[in-house]
């Protein structure tokens, strides 16, 4: 259907952030679930749209393809500003931009290189080191982010933004909730506030 977005997604992946954003923005869309790492027609199509083979990959109603979640969030905000995915005042926007880029430019790559380190031509020993070093680096980044927010109840104040959507998805990943509860309780509090919103809760449920 030409009037809708197609989100190429995998269960439990960062595509859930964009699924939440599309739902909150009330934009017509369909979700195509694929096993993003498994050779086959789903991955072949993904690779034809996004040479990195990553999800989320978003096909816009006019057929244009977007391959970066932060760009998708900013685009969805352009199309549906009433959803408030990006704050409107200058100070909050500055904090938002900083956190958004930390999430996609610092946190996400620790998974890119740590999740399947053997894909980078490493032997078992080197792969184990890369995984453990990227896990350690991620914990440092989260602890830095913890100092940047004061949830009230959302990461940037009384209104939910796209930062909360990333937190709702990414705090479920390594090192997991138990670690966040001990080391980053503010990030977890913002996560739990976001999870109270029905559209967010539905996507979390579908991705569990
Ligand atoms: N910078 C991308 C990262 C997306 C990403 O790494 N997605 C993971 C799944 S959660 C993936 O596709 N990993 C496979 C790979 O990087 O080869 C974004 O923010 O959208």
Task: Kindly report the protein residue whose alpha carbon is nearest to atom 11 of ligand 1.
Answer: 54
Q: Are 187 and 171 in contact (CB under 8 A)?
A: yes
Best mutation site among 38, 43, 55 for ligand 1, i.e. most ligand atoms within 8 A of its Cβ?
A: 55
Going through 42-148 in order, the beta strands assigned E by DSSP cover: 57-59, 65-66
CA 97 / ligand 1 centre spacing (Å): 19
What is residue 2's predicted lDDT score, i.e. its pLDDT? 62
Percent of the chain with pLDDT over 70: 99
CA 193 / ligand 1 centre spacing (Å): 25
Whether the predicted pLDDT of 168 surpasses 60: yes
Whether the predicted pLDDT of 1 surpasses 90: no
Averaged pLDDT, 2-11 = 93
Domain ranges of the chain: 5-83, 90-197
Label residue 170 by pLDDT band (50, 70, 90). very high
- CATH fold, domain 90-197, is Glutathione S-transferase Yfyf (Class Pi); Chain A, domain 2 (1.20.1050)
Whether the predicted pLDDT of 24 surpasses 60: yes
Give this prediction's pTM: 0.97
Look up the CATH superfamily of 5-83.
Glutaredoxin (3.40.30.10)
What is the full DSSP assignment across 103-125? IIIIIHHHHHHHSSGGGGT--HH
Residues in contact with ligand 1 (CB, 6 Å cut-off): 13-14, 36, 52-56, 68-70, 104, 108, 112
Best mutation site among 9, 13, 14 for ligand 1, i.e. most ligand atoms within 8 A of its Cβ?
A: 14
Locate the ligand 1 atom nearest the alpha carbon of residue 112 and give its number. Answer: 16
Locate the ligand 1 atom nearest the alpha carbon of residue 15 and give its number. Answer: 10
Locate the ligand 1 atom nearest the alpha carbon of residue 52 and give its number. Answer: 17
Residue range 177-194, pLDDT digits in tens:
999 999 999 999 999 999
Under DSSP, is residue 67 helix (H, G, I), strand (E, B) or coil?
coil
What is residue 122's predicted lDDT score, i.e. its pLDDT? 96
β partners of residue 9: 33
Averaged pLDDT, 83-107 = 98
Best mutation site among 54, 108, 165 for ligand 1, i.e. most ligand atoms within 8 A of its Cβ?
A: 54
What is residue 68's predicted lDDT score, i.e. its pLDDT? 98
Task: Kindly report the protein residue whose alpha carbon is nearest to atom 15 of ligand 1.
Answer: 54
Going through 21-139 in order, the beta strands assigned E by DSSP cover: 29-33, 57-59, 65-66
Q: Which helix (H) or strand (E) holds 187?
A: helix 185-194
How far is Cα 16 from Cα 169, in angstroms, rounded to an integer?
7
């Amino acid at each position: 259907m030409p009037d809708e977005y197609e989100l190429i997604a995998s269960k439990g992946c960062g595509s859930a952030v964009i699924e939440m954003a599309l739902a909150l923005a009330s934009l017509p869309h369909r979700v195509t679930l694929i096993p993003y790492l498994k050779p086959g027609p789903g991955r072949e199509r993904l690779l034809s749209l996004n040479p990195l083979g990553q999800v989320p990959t978003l096909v816009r109603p006019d057929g244009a393809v977007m391959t970066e979640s932060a760009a998708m969030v900013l685009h969805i905000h352009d199309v549906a500003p009433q959803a408030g995915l990006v704050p409107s005042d200058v100070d909050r926007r500055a904090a938002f931009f900083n956190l958004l880029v930390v999430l996609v430019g610092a946190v996400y790559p620790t998974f890119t290189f740590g999740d399947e380190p053997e894909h980078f031509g490493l032997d078992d020993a080197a792969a184990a080191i890369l995984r453990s070093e990227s896990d350690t680096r991620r914990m440092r980044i989260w602890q830095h982010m913890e100092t940047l927010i004061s949830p009230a109840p959302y990461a940037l104040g009384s209104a939910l933004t796209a930062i909360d959507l990333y937190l709702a998805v990414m705090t479920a990943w390594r090192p997991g909730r138990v670690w966040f509860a001990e080391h980053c309780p503010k990030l977890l509090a913002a996560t739990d506030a976001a999870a109270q919103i029905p559209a967010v809760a539905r996507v979390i449920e579908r991705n569990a």
